Structure 1
Amino acid sequence: MNSLERLYESLAAGATDKRHAHAALATRAEHLTAPAEPVTPEHTNDDVCQLFAQNEVQETLAVVENGQPIGLINRHIFMEQYARPFARDVFGRKSCIAFMDKSPVIVDRGLPIETLVRAAVEAGTRVLKDGFITTAEGQYLGLGTGYALMKAMSDIEAEKTRQLLSSIGYASLIQRSHLAESDLALREGLPDHALLWQPRDVVGGDAYFFRRTAAGLVGCVFDCTGHGVPGAFMTLIALSFLEQTVTPECESFDPGATLGAMNRYIKRVLQQRQCEGDSSYGSSSRPSNDGLDAALFLLAPDGASLQFASARLHLLIAPDDGSALRTIDGDRDGIGYADTADDQAWTTQQVALGGPSLLVIPTDGVIDQIGGPRQIAHGKRRLVQFMEQRRGVSARALCAEFAEHFHQWQGLERRRDDVSLLAFRCGAPAQEQA
């Protein structure tokens, strides 16, 4: 079963196992409506004044004629007008319609809260002050307050946020479960290794893949388009391809050819084939142009050499003998993008280590992070300097120290991208340093 199949199975199980009971939300106008005795045009302003005096908490009165609402009387507006000199003498015995709002917000009981909010916004501040009238098939039903509407919207937004955070948390469990087999292969294949993997948004577009094969240890670090859940879905597509392609029985493995096959797979899955002279591609109204950067290698069983191919990512090698630190750059074309040719080829480079060495593969989240005293990108050169100053340390020590260094570099700046850094040793392991 590949990654995508496991994802669908997990989501189906989660829909059953992760249900929680929550208080019912107000979703329609009737849920915010309370019965309230109306007045009719036959009621006088003196009658209205007495009703407000008898019920000090009532802010509004609906005016109903033949069962249908025709207006709304606001307590404060009414009392202000009625308190003016001679107003009681002039208007006291006249119909209460003299002081009513003749165009209140009137809604049907089944109106969704979101639509009611739009109606309230169009009405200005009146709904917050006066509330609204609810009807059932045109007949007066009751009154709703502006406060009740605000609280209902707040509750709905809080529930949406809770569901979103719950979904993202569950997505994180799914993504991590797909990496578990790689973690095991990495521990067994590289005793001295360390992996800094920090999604920017709980889940993200950085991921990794490791498998022990007959040809040696296959490893891949990749950085997909996007962050959060969209990026995580892209990692599952890439993982699905690698799981189908790399099996324990592989006796030969060509990293460059594999990146080419991954490119064709992703373009086919996402339907990202752009015809010459055609600016539209993808199957939706929004053009799809997603892909990934990746570093893929095959480490020989004796650990003395590796075959390396890369799309835009770098391999840094620091030999223990003090010789110059080497940088193996990747090819410039990304994988799977609409403007990457279907037959694009990536170069497989033969890398002889020549002795115990520390190898590092970072993603762009490390290189591009803004920080430091001058608020600039961290850059590859600064990472090279960091490695040169710590020659001979174990991969674990290097990664732990770099995590602290990177945290200090970032400072109060926001995290720009998912961050991944793989460090591992080939040859005789260095002595663990504090």
Structure 2
Amino acid sequence: MTANGGPADPAWFIKQLAKPVAASLQRDFRRITRLSGEKTPLKKAFRNLPKSVDRFWLCYSEGIPLKYNSIGLLLQPYDHFCRTCIITEEEIDSLTSMDIDRFADEPDIAERRDFFRTLNYLIPSGLKEAGYEIVRKEETESVTISMAAKIARAVHAGYLRELRRQGPEKSGTKNKSAAEFDDLPDEIRQSNISNAVHIPTKLLSIGYRIRPVTKGYKPKALHLEDEEVETMARVEHLRWSWEKRLNGWTYGRIRDDRHKTHPNLVPYGQLTEDEKEKDRELVRMVPAILRDIKFEAYPVSSDHTARLSYALKPRSSIQKLLLGTHELNAGISLLSGNSPAIMEKLQSIDEKIRLTMSEVEGSYNYARHIQEAFLPGDLDIRECFPDSFVLFEPRDIVSGDFYLFSRHEGIITFGLADCTGHGIPAALISTIGYGILDQAVNILKIDDPSEALVHLYSGIHRFLRKDDRESGISDDMTIVLCKYDPAVRRLNYSGAGNAIFHVADGKISANLSGRLAEGQFCNGSYGFTTRTLQLNMHDMLYLCSDGFADQFGGDSHRRYGWTRLRDCLLEISKHPMTEQGDMIYEELERWRGDKEEDQIDDITIIGIRV
């Protein structure tokens, strides 16, 4: 797992695993081609095949770690149970394209692409045989084997209850699955655990994690929408498919248990409706399973699912508008008595709207990629503060909030800004603002926060021509900027509008940053002051834009408010930082409630423990 001496290190992999994995791939590929009746697959795939076929297989296997790392997959040894890896069809396509690029001396022909695609389906089985599993950090970081075994027992107990309800014919001794969990055949028991391991994965695909219910409390009920059921069903089919492949199964037009071929080893979209419904039925059981084992599901920030290609993505305001348009047209259609002329007109309008919305959303998504490129990544933030979290929830696809983390000669500069408005206009201002602030901190090396903010605001106003009454733009931003010296735990900070709270000894301060005063930036004058705060080990800081405090919700449809937010931050401060980001997001979802109040502004909260 480490860069030196582990399976993620190409040199280590080549020495320890490349040969056995190559032998497994070659053997399994020959078996598949015999079953399919294809006699010369390598000659079709490679016109200039190396003289040594064995050398090709070894060379191919040596490239496995790098391409897996590139899509966020890790290799690690397993003890008694090999977890099923969830690799999507899109990721198989990416891995196949990497193979084609790596062997670029050959033409990109269809036979060759099919060949590499087949190999990428076989790799996990070869690694399993060598004692290694493929994992994705997001899927495994909160799931233990003991938790999976507990879930598996609950699932099997429910299965036995259903068999007994159906009568002795179903629960008789001929049915190997009808035994008690500990008496199950090893293959069936391992399959049950594989399913249980990925129940948390299925829930993560719709934005939930699970945890034990506190003693004396009832678990929160989980109600699955149709869209969530469909997403989880897709993941369940992926899980089942990889479980089969790990045990040597491959696609075949008919099911053959002796040769291990199965017609359902295809993408979810190619299944019959009856087969899809079986997957849906399995995931509809998940809420009851959680209740049985006294676990509950809780929502997590979209940061946890952003890298999961199979996860259900939060709906943007554009997607909500498009969905509303479809529903409106359906209603008009019913009122019109399904008149053919009106139906044709509605379909034409609907298609034009869909295409327009698709173009707009594509532009938004590209803007999001630009914003993600300049904002600090997780590694950048953890290099500055290992014990921290960032809750970053744009109202639309892009955000008017931005944050900065920079470390130079042991001194850490960090801050949070909130540009007026939201969506594309605010994101444009945030791009300008981030560039000017980055220049002040990392190029000009302005180390006084108030001086850096003067540079920022004067630059912003020059760009927006604020002093020009005819064409200038009056939009501004609120911000808090901090400089922290870890050696002496001294914090210098300056700002206006954005909040900064300090938690120490079980108490939380008032907002240290202060409010944005009316006329503060008039006539080119900037009233910023740098203040100093002495911190102690384990003190916490929270930087907040106003989006959370301004969010409507609750039974009375009112704003959350700063007082309630301070109380919430103090309450979660008792927990590890790794949990606090999820807890604050869960509080946001609870506040929005069953009415699903629309998010009214961009929301960003940064938590740091020094």
What is the CA deviation profile of residues 53-76 of structure 1, one whole-angstrom value per residue up to 9, with x for unaligned ones?
Answer: xxxxxxxxxxxxxxxxxxxxxxxx
SS in 1 for 2:417: strand
Q: Residue type matched to 2:498 in 1?
A: L
How do 1:116-131 residues align onto structure 2 when only pairs under 5 Å count?
none
Offset at residue 291 of structure 1 (A): 1.3
Offset at residue 384 of structure 1 (A): 1.7
Q: In the alignment, what sits opposite 1:266?
A: 460
SS in 1 for 2:502: strand
1:410 to 582, 592, 600: 592
Deviates more, 1:297-306 or 1:159-168: 297-306
Offset at residue 153 of structure 1 (A): 4.6
Q: 1:334 to 1:198 in 2, by over 3 A?
A: farther
Offset at residue 249 of structure 1 (A): 8.4
Q: In the alignment, what sits opposite 2:356?
A: 160
Contact 1:296 1:310 in 2 (8 A): yes
Q: In the alignment, what sits opposite 1:223?
A: 418
- How many residues of Structure 1 are paired with residues of Structure 2 in the alignment? 269
Contact 1:220 1:295 in 2 (8 A): yes
Contact 2:440 2:456 in 1 (8 A): no
Indicate whether 1:333 and 2:516 are aligned.
yes
Q: In the alignment, what sits opposite 1:299?
A: 484
Indicate whether 1:200 and 2:399 are aligned.
no
Offset at residue 369 of structure 1 (A): 0.7
How do 1:52-71 residues align onto structure 2 when only pairs under 5 Å count?
none
What is the CA deviation profile of residues 175-229 of structure 1, one whole-angstrom value per residue up to 9, with x for unaligned ones?
Answer: 111114x543311010000000000101120111111122611101111112111
Q: In the alignment, what sits opposite 1:36?
A: none
Q: In the alignment, what sits opposite 2:545?
A: 363
Q: In the alignment, what sits opposite 2:498?
A: 313
Q: Residue type matched to 2:433 in 1?
A: A
SS in 2 for 1:288: coil
Contact 2:520 2:527 in 1 (8 A): no
Give the Cα separation in 1 of the matches to 2:520 and 2:473.
8
Contact 1:334 1:340 in 2 (8 A): no
SS in 1 for 2:495: strand
How do 1:207-286 residues align onto structure 2 when only pairs under 5 Å count?
207-214=402-409, 216-247=411-442, 250=445, 253-273=447-467, 281-283=469-471
Offset at residue 351 of structure 1 (A): 0.8
Q: In the alignment, what sits opposite 1:389?
A: 571
Give the Cα separation in 1 of the matches to 2:414 and 2:488.
13
Offset at residue 347 of structure 1 (A): 1.1
SS in 1 for 2:547: helix
Give the Cα separation in 2 of the matches to 1:391 and 1:168.
35
Q: Residue type matched to 2:539 in 1?
A: S
Offset at residue 389 of structure 1 (A): 2.6
2:379 to 174, 184, 188: 184
What is the CA deviation profile of residues 330-371 of structure 1, one whole-angstrom value per residue up to 9, with x for unaligned ones?
Answer: 243379x99644221211110111342111111110111111
Give the Cα separation in 2 of the matches to 1:312 and 1:421.
14
Point out the structure with the larger strand share.
1
Contact 2:389 2:608 in 1 (8 A): yes
How do 1:365-380 residues align onto structure 2 when only pairs under 5 Å count?
365-380=547-562
Q: Residue type matched to 2:372 in 1?
A: R
Percentage identity across paired residues of the two chains: 26
Q: CA RMSD in A?
A: 2.7
Contact 2:520 2:526 in 1 (8 A): no
Offset at residue 294 of structure 1 (A): 0.7
Give the Cα separation in 2 of the matches to 1:334 and 1:224.
16
Give the Cα separation in 2 of the matches to 1:223 and 1:151.
41
SS in 1 for 2:439: helix
Q: 1:345 to 1:153 in 2, by over 3 A?
A: same
What is the CA deviation profile of residues 90-125 of structure 1, one whole-angstrom value per residue up to 9, with x for unaligned ones?
Answer: xxxxxxxxxxxxxxxxxxxxxxxxxxxxxxxxxxxx
SS in 2 for 1:327: coil
* Higher relative contact order, chain-length normalized (CA < 8 Å, sep 6+): 1
Q: 1:363 to 1:172 in 2, by over 3 A?
A: same
Give the Cα separation in 2 of the matches to 1:292 and 1:318.
26
Indicate whether 1:353 and 2:535 are aligned.
yes
Give the Cα separation in 1 of the matches to 2:586 and 2:530.
34
Q: 1:406 to 1:184 in 2, by over 3 A?
A: same
Give the Cα separation in 1 of the matches to 2:525 and 2:561.
31
1:175 to 358, 365, 371: 371
Task: Give the alignment's TM-score, normalised by structure 1.
Answer: 0.57
Point out the structure with the larger helix share.
2
Q: In the alignment, what sits opposite 1:290?
A: 475
Offset at residue 155 of structure 1 (A): 3.6
Q: 1:269 to 1:408 in 2, by over 3 A?
A: same
Give the Cα separation in 1 of the matches to 2:499 and 2:520.
23
Query: Could you say which structure has the larger radius of gyration?
Result: 1
Contact 2:440 2:455 in 1 (8 A): no
Give the Cα separation in 1 of the matches to 2:365 and 2:461.
29
SS in 1 for 2:607: strand
Q: 1:257 to 1:148 in 2, by over 3 A?
A: same
Contact 2:577 2:609 in 1 (8 A): yes
Unaligned runs of 5+ in 2: 1-340
Unaligned runs of 5+ in 1: 1-144, 275-280, 427-434
